[in-house]
Amino acid sequence: MPTVLVTGCAGFIGSHLCERLLADGFRVCGLDNFDAFYPREIKQQNLSSLLSHPNFVFAELDLRQGVEALNEAFADEAPEVVVHLAAKAGVGPSVKEPVAYLDNNVVGTTYLLEWMRRNKIERLLFASSSSVYGNTLNRPFREDEPLLASCISPYAASKLAGEQLTYTYHHLYRLSVLNARFFTVYGPRQRPDLAIHKFIRLLRNGQPIPVFGDGSTARDYTYVADTVDGIVRGVNYLLAHSQVYETVNLGNNRPVPLLALIEAIGKAVGVAPELQFQAMQAGDVDVTYADISKAQQLLGYNPTTSLEAGLLEFVNWLDAVPAPAQV
């Protein structure tokens, strides 16, 4: 029974991933610092079904506490793979708090990598982001796109810096790495600050939906179960290979314009949206669009959930959760 350490395990993607890994027969060590970016109650709800599982252990820990804190938390564990999801997330907030984002995402990642090196843990799946592509004009985005001048937000810069760190540890210390670039993940448990969650809440409260720009910006929305399937395939790839360094896009390969997304959300909720046009937000990119051919070839990754089906799943979940998760 392989053991996987999941950082950020109480978050949106992390909690889904832990459930899937446990269902697949893995032992899972979870770590989360309950960052105050959104209410702790939501993350505790995400963890609720995991804490009673016999093959799940949890530590409340901030990676910036350092190597010794990690040693103490997982003294009795020997993970074969680390999935590093923990990070301060969000492009817009990072524009307002760049130091906090770089401190958390870059320094925290460095401590994790150093703990892995010292404990001879040799496999890492690093959660990166489509934001590293910025406004590159080459679409769909390919993993070999030059990215030196692409980042237009501190969040994007922190994720690209994370990829550079993983390469450094691969080069110097023979760490096997799979960098997975996520593309606008949505679905049950999505963070309340993200567009789909926010728009549904506004519609149900009879409030207008803010449209930043002219509505033509587009995102490659990817349902959480498809993203998680790609991560699990990545974990299995790392377990089957040594001395590898790869980067893959885990997107849906179908950009959806903002106005089309809002129309689809309106249909899922059964409310006609009222739009309120506003200026573009600093740091936002025009389009995200994943070329997923490498992930298909390397991992057998194949997203299957349509936007319409995914939105209905999200709405059904939102109807069923206790009130704090709808804040």
Domain extents for the chain? Answer: 3-183+223-251+289-303
Catalytic residue (one of 155, 186, 237, 301): 155
The CA distance from 283 to 134, in Å, is 9
> Which amino acid belongs to residue 118?
R
In tens, the pLDDT along 31-42 reads: 999 998 889 999
Confidence of residue 322 (pLDDT cuts 50, 70, 90): low
Active site residue 155: yes
The predicted model gives 54-74 an average pLDDT of: 97
Of the chain, the percentage scoring pLDDT greater than 90 comes to: 87
Q: Which amino acid is at 92?
A: G
Amino acid (1-letter code) at residue 248: V
> What's the whole-number mean pLDDT along residues 174-198?
95
CA angle 117, 245, 30 (to 5 degrees): 50
Residue, of 193 and 9, whose pLDDT is higher: 9
Q: C-alpha distances in angstroms, 173 versus 77, 167, 191?
A: 21, 10, 35
**Cα dist from 299 to 14, 142, 149, 230, 303, whole Å:** 20, 16, 29, 7, 12
CA atoms of 144 and 161, how far apart (whole Å) = 16
**CATH class of domain segment(s) 3-183+223-251+289-303:** alpha beta
Structure tokens at 93: 């907030």
The dihedral over CA atoms of 210, 216, 220, 222, expressed in degrees to the nearest 10, equals 30
- From residue 243, how far is each of 83, 109, 196 by CA, in Å? 17, 20, 39
